[in-house]
Amino acid sequence: EAGVVQSPRYKIIEKKQPVAFWCNPISGHNTLYWYLQNLGQGPELLIRYENEEAVDDSQLPKDRFSAERLKGVDSTLKIQPAELGDSAVYLCASKPQGEVEAFFGQGTRLTVV
Amino acid sequence: AQSVTQPDIHITVSEGASLELRCNYSYGATPYLFWYVQSPGQGLQLLLKYFSGDTLVQGIKGFEAEFKRSQSSFNLRKPSVHWSDAAEYFCAVGAGNTDKLIFGTGTRLQVFP
């Protein structure tokens, strides 16, 4: 069974440019998460989806961040415009609704220069 | 509010030595507790979890953890460390429905031959 797939693995952009990250969760997993992991820190939740509905986006900086999960399968996280402080690892995770264990992708490491 | 404290930022042990990584949590009810491991450039892998019942839980790769309610702790242990255990370890606490995990800041484990 394929795990959570994220792309790209690495991205370097100049500040003020837009960037997008893609996540394909494990098949059948209704719940999808985007986490932000700053250097030397633990992951912090940005947004949680149940199917196509964003049920917890309280930590998402909505002035520059947006996310979508059309059709309730794969998801895209976008930053526009990117700032230097956005340099971090963006992790996607998924799990079946009602289950406990979430499975994480390998993450996208973003560097803003 | 839920929170997790991992007091040790960096631990160094010799291969074959025993290991204990500390984790303290703050949560009003019985928490759901997790330990994850993250190798460089990789996502998070679940080592073990505690929901209820036996306070000593066994996980993968020879790890175990003990839930102590009186101390609000969930320390991770391994009797004999292998060089391949070198990684970052994260403790996390979840609410009753575990739809949101709060992570600690992590402990980086270094193993010397």
A106 has a chain B CB within 8 A of its CB: yes
B47 has a chain A CB within 8 A of its CB: no
Burial zone of B72 (CB within 10 Å; 0-12 exposed, 13-18 middle, 19+ buried): middle
- Report which of A112, A107, A66, A104 is spatially closest to residue A89, judged by C-alpha positions: A107
pLDDT at B96 over 60: no
Closest chain A residue to the Cα of B95, Cα to Cα: A100
Query: Which of B38, B57, B99 should one mutate to test binding to chain A, selecting the residue with the greatest count of A CBs within 10 A?
Result: B99
Nearest by CB to B49, which of A41, A101, A107? A101
List, for residues B37-72, the tens digit of each pLDDT value: 999 888 899 999 998 888 999 999 999 999 999 999
Nearest chain B CA: its distance from A58 CA (Å): 12
Positive or negative torsion for Cα B9, B15, B20, B23: positive
Residues of chain A with confidence (pLDDT) below 70: 1
B104 CB neighbours in chain A (<8 A) are 42
B39 has a chain A CB within 8 A of its CB: no
Mean pLDDT of chain B: 92
- Report which of A93, A100, A102, A101 is spatially closest to residue B97, judged by C-alpha positions: A100
Closest chain B residue to the Cα of A106, Cα to Cα: B43
C-alpha to C-alpha distances, B43 to A31, B36, B38, B66, nearest whole angstrom: 17, 10, 6, 24
B4/B25 Cα distance (integer angstroms): 4
B91/B35 Cα distance (integer angstroms): 5
List, for residues B12-46, the tens digit of each pLDDT value: 999 999 999 999 999 877 788 999 999 988 889 99
Q: B105, A45: Cβ pair inside 8 Å?
A: no
pLDDT at B95: 67
Q: B90, A42: Cβ pair inside 8 Å?
A: yes
pLDDT at A4: 96
Closest chain B residue to the Cα of A57, Cα to Cα: B100
A94/A23 Cα distance (integer angstroms): 10
List, for residues A19-35, the tens digit of each pLDDT value: 999 999 999 999 999 99
pLDDT at A27: 94
